[in-house]
Structure 1
Amino acid sequence: MPLARLKPSRVLGIERFTDFGEFRANEVLGLATSTPLRPREFSLTRAILPLQNGLFVLQRAFARQLELDVGTDQGMGLVVPFSFHSLYNGREIDNSTVSVVRGRVPIKSVEPQPNTYLMMRFNSDMRHRGWADYDSGLGFFRTHDAPMARLRATILNMFCLASEHGEPRQFEAINRPIQETLLDCLDAALVPADGLAARRGSFDKHRKLIARLDEIVALFGSKPLYSDDLARALGVSVRTLQTATHAVHGVSLHHYLRLKRLWSTRIQLMTGGAGLSVKAAALGNGFWHLGDFSRGYKMTFGEAPSETLARGRRL
């Protein structure tokens, strides 16, 4: 687990405590009262990352009893487990379960071992994405291994990038691409596949919606494509747009938009001038993890982006 290896930067804050007397609770999802189960083994590390639409805290805590009013007055909160086992109000929670809270809920928990997890607070309630469709309370969502692994990998990538980044303005420019990837991972974890099943007889309506989506994407030109912006332009929820994409093309909305962004990047690389770089083209189309971009590009087009750029310069 690389949390211990993360270093503070002008983007990422790091807090480490080895003395319970100096320990301060983090209020991202509510102010808690902790009682160590093994005081001599006390240790806590947290990495704090503010992004455009929320606050994200990756934490390795100590074995403890915990009491708190978990939740937020606005927006919504989530807990994503990495290495986790706890009893929440008598309910056993493990590595496969994402916790989602709306409003405030009193919690008494026992964490018999040091737990590692991400706490995130979104400024939006995220109802337009189809997550946790209830007004208030604490919900538990068991996920399959593949979407959970991808979610964790995305979280670790964004924290590692923040740790290595020394320029806040440059990092701010990739906030939205980072969050778009994170939102897609959460969509896969929190919206069941059968929840995207189209109603009988609705295919024609979905086909027309996707045709309008393609028109708007064309108008966006080389601008990065974000699901929230596109849904807003179409006057529908992201959840509706996800259902339509799945019904018409059999893939997720994120996958469909990713292919369009890959094609946009390819066109730029084939026609760009001498000053264009692969990194600039990728970032300009919303790809923030360059290793992932290069792998996806080669898998889609059968060549590395640098090869496309070199061939374009020869033409």
Structure 2
Amino acid sequence: MLFDALAPSSALQLIGFADVDAFRPIETMEDARSIPLDVANFAATRAVVSLPACRIVVMRSFARILDTAYRMPGGMVILSMTDDVQASFKGLDLDARFFIALRGNDECHFVEPQTNYYAMIIFSPGLRDRGWFDRADDLRARVANRPALLHTRQLLRDILRTASVQPFLFETTEVAAHLQEGLLLALDDLFRIDSLSDLGASIQGERAIKLVQRIDDYVAARPTAPIYTADLAAEFGVSIRTLGGAVSKVRGMSLHQYIRLKRLWATRGRLLRGGGATVATCARAQGFHHMGEFAAAYRATFHEAPSDTLARGRQSRVRRAD
């Protein structure tokens, strides 16, 4: 299942509980109180990964009645990690269509009639507001954008796996910030039910086109630097929602997908020029620092490995020299 391939590391805290009494001190520290509904079959697991401005907690829960007091000044998102989740909240039956969001404080009451797998993403108060939370001190269940939910789940699994097998990557601020940015962009999409209708009244087509042109110039001027949406929004004096909506309107994809696609094509150009370059140097020259993630994205886009492109580029140079 979700935790089977994971091992604890310096970047991943992984704890399993086979005894409810061993689990209770964890709840006490978090101001939560559970009444287990099936003590004989009790089991719980949690995995924790910290990124620069958020903490990820992925949990295998147990059948229970749960009362908890959330204190989340920076905000929190809870989403299911499987499609068979069952829970109720304030009389609302929750399944995989929903996720939960809160910024501030709230007293919450849940019932979980079965084991569930879910992720809790807790944000630092210093993280810039991305327009996710309608109002403070109100935990709300929201309908998830289904493709974005599946993408976010996979991203969380990838982060857990990376933290387990390559914990040294989390010692590098740049890599950790890159992983966090991907997660934040996925959550942007999760909250965006219909981005085009949101834009209709606030952004005219001409303004969106000009904004995308500014994004193009910004990215071109910083080929090796990580690009963060909060920095872009601050640079252009717009909200993150406006920024992402403009790219969606003009380019038909999310900001993250668009920047990655541009950089993949730029990397491909460098690989085809051949010479003495390596795949790693070409990738890093366009801001890709996680080689496994880069190789997977490259193959999915171009249907060949970057090393194949590089070899073809070198062969072309040899033929031209002859």
Tell me if TM exceeds 0.5.
yes
What does residue range 152-171 of structure 1 map to in structure 2 within 5 Å?
152-167=153-168, 170=171
The offset of 1:168, in angstroms, is 5.3
Superposed CA deviations along residues 21-77 of structure 1, whole A, max 9, x for unmatched, are: 21132689x5211121111111111111001111111110111111111241x2101
Q: Does residue 216 of structure 1 match 2:254?
A: no
Residue aligned with 2:107, SS: strand
Aligned to 1:192: 193
Aligned to 1:53: 53
**In 2: Cα distance, 1:262 partner to 1:27 partner:** 48
Q: Provide closer, same or farther for how the CA distance between residues 69 and 200 of structure 1 changes in structure 2, counting only shifts above 3 A.
A: closer
291-300 vs 153-162, greater mean Cα deviation: 291-300
**In 1: Cα distance, 2:114 partner to 2:273 partner:** 56
Aligned to 1:129: 130
Q: State the number of aligned residues.
A: 312
The offset of 1:80, in angstroms, is 1.1
Aligned to 1:142: 143
Q: Provide closer, same or farther for how the CA distance between residues 283 and 2 of structure 1 changes in structure 2, counting only shifts above 3 A.
A: farther
Q: Does residue 255 of structure 1 match 2:257?
A: yes
Q: Provide closer, same or farther for how the CA distance between residues 283 and 85 of structure 1 changes in structure 2, counting only shifts above 3 A.
A: farther
200-209 vs 154-163, greater mean Cα deviation: 200-209
Indicate conservation of the 8 Å contact 2:224/2:284, yes or no.
no
Residue aligned with 1:167, SS: helix
**In 1: Cα distance, 2:107 partner to 2:142 partner:** 19
What does residue range 228-247 of structure 1 map to in structure 2 within 5 Å?
228-247=230-249
Indicate conservation of the 8 Å contact 2:169/2:175, yes or no.
no
Indicate conservation of the 8 Å contact 2:44/2:59, yes or no.
yes
Residue aligned with 1:109, SS: strand
Aligned to 1:104: 105
Residue aligned with 1:140, SS: strand
**In 1: Cα distance, 2:290 partner to 2:27 partner:** 29
Residue aligned with 1:3, SS: coil
Aligned to 2:267: 265
Q: Provide closer, same or farther for how the CA distance between residues 192 and 82 of structure 1 changes in structure 2, counting only shifts above 3 A.
A: same
Aligned to 2:320: none
Indicate conservation of the 8 Å contact 2:145/2:192, yes or no.
no
Residue aligned with 1:103, SS: strand
171-180 vs 13-22, greater mean Cα deviation: 171-180
**In 1: Cα distance, 2:125 partner to 2:262 partner:** 27
Indicate conservation of the 8 Å contact 2:128/2:230, yes or no.
no
**In 2: Cα distance, 1:52 partner to 1:272 partner:** 36
Q: Does residue 202 of structure 1 match 2:201?
A: no
Q: Provide closer, same or farther for how the CA distance between residues 36 and 233 of structure 1 changes in structure 2, counting only shifts above 3 A.
A: same
Aligned to 1:179: 180
Amino acid of the structure 1 residue aligned with 2:113: P
Indicate conservation of the 8 Å contact 2:53/2:126, yes or no.
no
**In 1: Cα distance, 2:199 partner to 2:170 partner:** 41
**In 2: Cα distance, 1:169 partner to 1:78 partner:** 22
The offset of 1:81, in angstroms, is 0.7
Structure 1 residue runs without a partner (length 5+): none
Q: Provide closer, same or farther for how the CA distance between residues 46 and 171 of structure 1 changes in structure 2, counting only shifts above 3 A.
A: farther
Residue aligned with 2:132, SS: coil
Structure 2 residue runs without a partner (length 5+): 318-322
Residue aligned with 1:7, SS: coil
Indicate conservation of the 8 Å contact 1:82/1:117, yes or no.
yes
Q: TM-score, normalised by structure 1?
A: 0.88
The offset of 1:310, in angstroms, is 2.3
Residue aligned with 1:212, SS: helix
Amino acid of the structure 1 residue aligned with 2:209: R
Q: Provide closer, same or farther for how the CA distance between residues 284 and 180 of structure 1 changes in structure 2, counting only shifts above 3 A.
A: farther
Residue aligned with 2:4, SS: helix
Q: TM-score, normalised by structure 2?
A: 0.86
Q: Provide closer, same or farther for how the CA distance between residues 225 and 264 of structure 1 changes in structure 2, counting only shifts above 3 A.
A: farther
Amino acid of the structure 2 residue aligned with 1:40: A
